[in-house]
Structure 1
Amino acid sequence: MSAALLAGMLAIVPGAAPAVEQTDLIVFDVVLKGIRAGRLTLTGTVEGTHYSANGTLESAGLIRLVRKVKYVAESEGTTKNGRYTPSYYSEVADTGKRVSESTMEYRAGVPQVKVYNPPREPQQTDVKPETQGGTVDPLTALYATLRDVPVAEACTLEVQMFDGKRRSQITLSKPVVADDGIVCAGEYRRLAGFSENEMADKVAFPFRLYYVPVGDGRMRVNLIETDTTFGVGSLRRR
């Protein structure tokens, strides 16, 4: 019996709990020029058509001695056929110099900014939330990128995200078989809401994403590499 058929049967049984279709525990070291600079921890669960995710990014190693940085976020919503529709997102970020928080709720896929602290004067480049239907929050985009996927879904992602002020996009494409895994061409692209200086500096940020097989026809992100002005930066799975 397929998982999809079982989930469908459970859905019509009174009092039956939704089947847990996928649970991910994702932990990466953030490495810059060979030095461990931080740790990313992400958990996600898909139950029926509902998903939830929690993520933490914090400085680590020698970098933590210089500046303690921490980002904590959570999101939830629905997913169907690889498409995510958030219903709630919140984040708290501490750069070591400044603490900020934001919360968004969604109506029919359209984000509603409920909290944005500390308040900021509106900028001419700001994107209006009511025009951002169909986008996802940053944590949902990260979970969609890093979760385990069937081999047929490897390197097929295209997701646009909105963080309350800016719109951007992540794409994975051009799969190439390498050893026993798959390598994707990835790109993060700024779309709207960024300053003129930011857009003039750089719009597209290419990266390479490496999948390895984990059994049952599924692939797992094991490594992400990108070129930076400081050398090669990477996310390495623990």
Structure 2
Amino acid sequence: MSLFQAISKAAVTAPENTMNNPTRANAKKKNFLTLEDLPESELCTQNIDIFDGARNVKITMKGLKKSGNSYQCDGTYKRIAGFSESELKDGVNFPFTMTYSKQGDKFRAERFDVQSIRGRAAFVRR
């Protein structure tokens, strides 16, 4: 499971056939937790363990910073188990930043910036 998959796949694609695989369904539900609209009190409080049936990762978010009507959170995607030795040599912890903007009475994830093995990447909600 790549960092991009862990953070965004559940929010941008229809779920695969998860009816026969509750582990994968649960992983997709947890992935969505980082992208769902949240009340201000829940921003930057995610501490999510994800197991997709093969790999285990942990996503933690903290460091709430306000700027006008938006907030930024610092996060870490951490490889826990199920990764090859080669994958672990490439990295275990991958920092990211999530930017939320106010939408009514909640905040929506608008931008996700990450430092990955292949360089920096940004995902922007359209």
Q: How does 1:103-118 map to 2 (within 5 A)?
A: 103-105=20-22, 111=23
Q: How does 1:170-189 map to 2 (within 5 A)?
A: 170-189=59-78
User: Quick one: which of 59, 73, 84 aligns to 2:15?
Assistant: 73
Do structure 1's residue 154 and structure 2's residue 43 form an aligned pair?
yes
Judged with a 3 Å threshold, the aligned counterparts in structure 2 of structure 1 residues 159 and 104 are, in CA distance, closer, same or farther, namely same
Shift, 1:229, TM fit: 4.6
Spell out, residue by residue over 1:4-41, the C-alpha distance to the aligned partner (whole angstroms, 9 max, x if none): xxxxxxxxxxxxxxxxxxxxxxxxxx9xxxxxxxx968
What SS is found at the alignment partner of 1:149?
coil
Spell out, residue by residue over 1:104-146, the C-alpha distance to the aligned partner (whole angstroms, 9 max, x if none): 23xxxxx4x8xxxxxxxxxxxxxxxxxxxxxx41x21221010
Considering fraction of residues, name the structure with more helix. Answer: 2
Unaligned 5+ segments in structure 2 are: none
Residue 214 of structure 1 corresponds to which residue in structure 2?
103
Residue 90 of structure 1 corresponds to which residue in structure 2?
18
Do structure 1's residue 232 and structure 2's residue 120 form an aligned pair?
yes
Residue 66 of structure 1 corresponds to which residue in structure 2?
none
Q: How does 1:33-72 map to 2 (within 5 A)?
A: 42=11, 55-56=12-13, 72=14
CA distance in 1: counterparts of 2:55 and 2:114, whole angstroms: 22
Spell out, residue by residue over 1:52-102, the C-alpha distance to the aligned partner (whole angstroms, 9 max, x if none): xxx51xxxxxxxxxxxxxxx525xxxxxxxxxxxxxx729xxxxxxxxxxx
Greater relative contact order (Cα < 8 A, sep 6+): 2
Percent of pairs identical after alignment? 31
CA distance in 1: counterparts of 2:32 and 2:41, whole angstroms: 18
Shift, 1:195, TM fit: 1.2
Unaligned 5+ segments in structure 1 are: 1-29, 31-38, 43-54, 57-71, 75-88, 92-102, 106-110, 114-135
Amino acid at match of 1:148: D
Judged with a 3 Å threshold, the aligned counterparts in structure 2 of structure 1 residues 182 and 198 are, in CA distance, closer, same or farther, namely same
What SS is found at the alignment partner of 2:34?
helix
What SS is found at the alignment partner of 2:18?
strand
Aligned length: 119
CA distance in 2: counterparts of 1:233 and 1:40, whole angstroms: 15
Query: Are the aligned partners of 2:9 and 2:31 in contact in 1 as well (CA < 8 Å)?
Result: no
Considering fraction of residues, name the structure with more strand. Answer: 1
Over the residues paired in the alignment, what is the CA RMSD in angstroms?
A: 2.5
CA distance in 2: counterparts of 1:229 and 1:202, whole angstroms: 7
The structure with the largest alpha-carbon Rg is: 1
Q: TM-score, normalised by structure 2?
A: 0.81
